[in-house]
Amino acid sequence: MSNDIYPSRQEQTASLTLRKDPVLYSEKTENAPLTANLLDQFEEQGYMLLADLFSPQEVATFSEAIKMLQQDDAVRQTPQAVTEADNGLLRSVFQIHQNHPLFANVAKDERITDIARFILGGDIYIHQSRLNFKPGLKGKEFYWHSDFETWHVEDGMPRMRALSCSIFLTDNNAKNGALMLMPGSHKEYLSCIGETPKDHYLQSLKQQTFGIPDDDSLHHLADKYGIDCAEAKAGSVLFFDCNTMHGSNSNITPDPRSNLFFVFNHIDNKVTDPFCTRAPRPEFIATRKNITAL
Ligand code: 6CS
Ligand code: FE
């Protein structure tokens, strides 16, 4: 691919190269919406966890809304819904910032957008939004990956200037499948082996088998950076860089784990043609047409 500074899924061997983009796109001044300590954390580890950003009342409202979605058979029939391969339970619902008034408002909430704008250094829009459900006893894992690798290859996101904001709708802990992250892994780019299959998203959003790191590279990264677990109460918010290596275990505890995700991308980093030979993924997974700055 021409002009591809982050090639992946093109070779038979994996390669680890240095990140070519900043992590923090603003100066750490006194006017920053976060303390220098938190900004350092984000820059060095590739994530930060902010406890109790949303109140218990707000979390209760969100929980009511997700219960309705989970109980609604019509939701499961929409293209935006991703169900588990084996039990048909709802795994994710995409594009909720467009299709759900309550969550559309959360997407614009300045408690999160001010932070995203600061880290990414200017105007932002939503590249992707989704709810991820991991119901008690039945919730399935998300295998290790860098989001940027997928967004670059399959969506055509040119540079690392995006981040995920995960709002915890239930308590997240090591037992119920909280997100695990490798602190510092965002500073290196790991290319993956193998080509992208046609209509890959129909499979990958249920269980990803292409665009995942090879075993040797994961051993290497885990030895080098270690693995942290984002444990916090409902209402807390995890911000993580688009290239931080992360994944999560299944949930065999009785307690559900539900999280709301917004992916903010800088307005100058809009997606182009994908960096693979496949057609772009649908708008409900990767915003291409409906780009409005928040
Ligand atoms: O393919 C994607 O865009 C998504 N897949 C994963 C496993 N994480 C990020 C994103 O939702
Ligand atoms: Fe991810």
What pLDDT is stored for residue 2 in this prediction? 61
Higher pLDDT, 175 or 30: 175
State the chain's mean pLDDT as an integer: 95
Surrounding ion ligand 2 within 5 Å at CB are 147
Show Cβ contacts of residue 36 under 8 Å, excluding neighbours closer than 6 positions.
Answer: 28
Bridge partners, 145 (sequence order) = 246
Say if CB 113 and CB 292 are below 8 A apart. Answer: no
- State the CB neighbour count (10 A cutoff) for residue 25: 14
Q: Indicate which atom in ligand 1 lies nearest the CA of residue 130.
A: 11
Q: What's the average model confidence in pLDDT over 93-99?
A: 95
Q: How far is the CA of 30 from the centre of ligand 2 (A)?
A: 32
**Domain extents in the chain:** 16-22+35-269
128 Cα–ligand 1 center, Å: 9
Mean pLDDT for the stretch of residues 104-111: 97
CATH fold, domain 16-22+35-269, is: Jelly Rolls (2.60.120)
Output the six-digit token pair for 25. 């796109």
pLDDT (tens digit per residue) in 133-173: 998 999 999 999 999 999 999 999 999 999 999 999 999 99
| The predicted structure's pLDDT at residue 168 | 97
Global pTM reads 0.96
Confidence check: pLDDT of 7 > 80: yes
The pLDDT of residue 118: 97
pLDDT beyond 80 at 288: yes
Residue to mutate (ligand 1; options 147, 157, 199; most atoms within 8 A of CB) = 147
Give the separation between CA 180 and CA 183, rounded to whole angstroms. 9
Length of the chain: 294
State pLDDT tens for residues 39-52: 999 999 999 999 99
